[in-house]
Amino acid sequence: MDIKILGPGCANCSSLEKLVFNVLAELNADANVSKVTDFKEIASYGVMSTPALVIDGQVKFSGVVPSKAKMTEIITEAINRG
Amino acid sequence: MNIATQIFGWLNDQLLRMTWLWESVRLLVEKVFGLSIQERLGGSIHFFIYDTIKIFILLSVLIFGISYIQSYFPPERTKKILGGIKGIRGNIVGALLGTITPFCSCSSIPIFIGFTSAGLPLGVTFSFLISSPLVDLASLLLLMSFFGAKIAVAYVVVGLVLAVIGGTLIDKLGLEEYVEGYIREIESVESSIVEMTREERISYAKEQVKAIIKRVWLYVLIGVGIGAVIHNWIPQSIIENVVGANNPFAVILATVVGIPMYADIFGTLPIAEALFKKGVGAGTILSFMMAVTALSLPSLIMLSKVVKPKLLAVFFTIVTVGIIIIGYLFNASSYFIG
């Protein structure tokens, strides 16, 4: 699974990153997590508000840091899809 | 009818102008500190405590409510709505959507790129970018609280007019070639808009309140401090000569001083309020607030990454001149409407 965190480095971006690692650890899941800070690349995902989360090339959400429950749901779904 | 007016007036006094708080702080200053609020020290302490509490209450309540509404209008949706509208109506809708789309100067670049690559006219994007920091629902209610409904509505209306005219002018000047080249190469992507649940909207709104308070509290305290000094320590005659009716260049001065300042409306209000109480013209105050919120060094630096210097200069000039004209028109008209 390939997870990308989109954001120019705002406070919310780092809290999203922490949340992702938290949930991954809890689910005992393995993923390749990277950060995207370049505006050009962020825009190439059609994202206009940051932070945003991309899993396997698909934008899951943007402009919010979701609740932990929601995050767990999103990542579990991505794992099940393979 | 009369009763309705009275109830509305009472609600406005208690909820927006917070006369109860004004009274409580007066009692605190007079009974506990033993100072009269008619005197300088007591007066400035009263101004400082009352304004600080009032702004933080309004800030928390307003940002919460407005963030909740804004959660229905992510920029991705705004882009979609604007995509189907042509001509000056696009500018008008762009300016209106600017008031309800969540905005901070850090998001202006992705929004600019997103709008431009989706093929929206440059003018529409600029209408949005002018109105977004300048006018929002929070500023309308805040201005009502501090200055009354007349000035508040006037601020919002002229702010929107400035955004529409500014955007239209940029459109007519045909400056598309002055957008940085790499932006055109970015392909427009339709991203799906993820619907939030009610709980998510509420927690989003709470997070917004926290984040905004964290960002602006210092500016608010500085603003209230400056306001208290203006209110009680600077002689009336100096104010009148520098920014009052005695100085024909007051509006220009207020605009030029306001532009580099990076604060939002919350930090600006106490200064504006103190000047207003000293009898400074409404136009001068509006110009000052608009200059502070619409233009700032950080947002200009951000924009310079996506547009070439010429377009940036045109944008800057149109907004500055617009703000100055608005100021003079208001000062002139207030002689007639009082």
Interchain contact, B114 vs A66, CB within 8 Å? no
C-beta separation of B100 from B87 below 8 A? no
At B234-260, the pLDDT tens digits run: 888 888 888 887 888 999 999 998 888
Instruction: Give residue B338's pLDDT.
Output: 44
User: What is the distance between the alpha carbons of residues B234 and B27, in angstroms, rounded to a whole number?
Assistant: 25
Instruction: Give residue B251's pLDDT.
Output: 93
Nearest CA in chain B to A70: B200
* Peptide linkage before A51 cis (omega within 30 of 0): yes
User: What is the distance between the alpha carbons of residues B304 and B322, in angstroms, rounded to a whole number?
Assistant: 21
| Mean pLDDT computed over A9-21 | 83
What are the helix and strand counts (H, E) for chain B? 17, 0
A65 contact residues in B (CB cutoff 8 A): 207
CA angle B161–B164–B167, rounded 5-degree value: 140
- In the residue annotation, A28 being an active-site residue is answered as no
Of the listed A3, A13, A55, A75, which one is catalytic? A13
* Residue numbers of chain B with a pLDDT score lower than 50: 337-338
User: What is the distance between the alpha carbons of residues B262 and A21, in angstroms, rounded to a whole number?
Assistant: 35
* Enclosing domain of residue A26: 2-81
Instruction: Give residue B190's pLDDT.
Output: 67
Total domains present in chain A: 1
Interchain contact, A48 vs B76, CB within 8 Å? yes
Collapsing DSSP states into helix, strand and coil, what is residue A35? Answer: strand
The fraction of chain B above a pLDDT of 90, given in percent, is 19
Interchain contact, A44 vs B114, CB within 8 Å? no
Smallest Cβ–Cβ distance between B200 and the set A42, A45, A70 belongs to: A70
Instruction: Give residue B174's pLDDT.
Output: 86
At B55-102, the pLDDT tens digits run: 899 889 888 988 888 888 888 888 888 888 888 899 999 898 888 876
Give the confidence band of A3 by pLDDT, cuts at 50, 70, 90. Answer: very high
Nearest CA in chain B to A12: B211
pLDDT at A61 over 80: yes
CB proximity B223 to A under 8 Å = no
Write the burial class of residue A71 (CB in 10 Å: 0-12 exposed, 13-18 middle, 19+ buried): buried
Shortest distance, CA A31 to any CA of chain B (angstroms) = 23
| Overall pTM surpassing 0.90 (yes/no) | no
**Type of residue found at B231:** H
Residue A59: which region, alpha, beta or left (left: phi > 0; alpha: psi -120 to 50)? beta
Instruction: Give residue A7's pLDDT.
Output: 84
At A31-54, the pLDDT tens digits run: 899 998 887 788 788 788 778 899
- The C-alpha torsion from B100 through B106 and B108 to B113, rounded to 10°, is -130
Of the listed A8, A9, A10, A76, which one is catalytic? A10
Instruction: Measure Cα distances from B120 to A52, B19, B86, B92, B127 in Å.
Output: 23, 47, 9, 14, 11
The residues in B 258-317 lying below 8 A from A, measured between CB atoms, are 305
- In angstroms, the first-to-last Cα distance of chain B is 25
C-beta separation of B140 from B110 below 8 A? no
Size of interface A-B (CB pairs under 8 A): 73
Instruction: Give residue B310's pLDDT.
Output: 93
Beta-carbon neighbour count of residue B35 at 10 Å?
Answer: 18
CATH for A47:
3.40.30.10
ipTM of the complex: 0.70
Smallest Cβ–Cβ distance between A65 and the set B106, B186, B207 belongs to: B207
Nearest CA in chain A to B189: A46
Per DSSP, B44 falls in state H
Instruction: Give residue B105's pLDDT.
Output: 61
- In the residue annotation, A67 being an active-site residue is answered as no
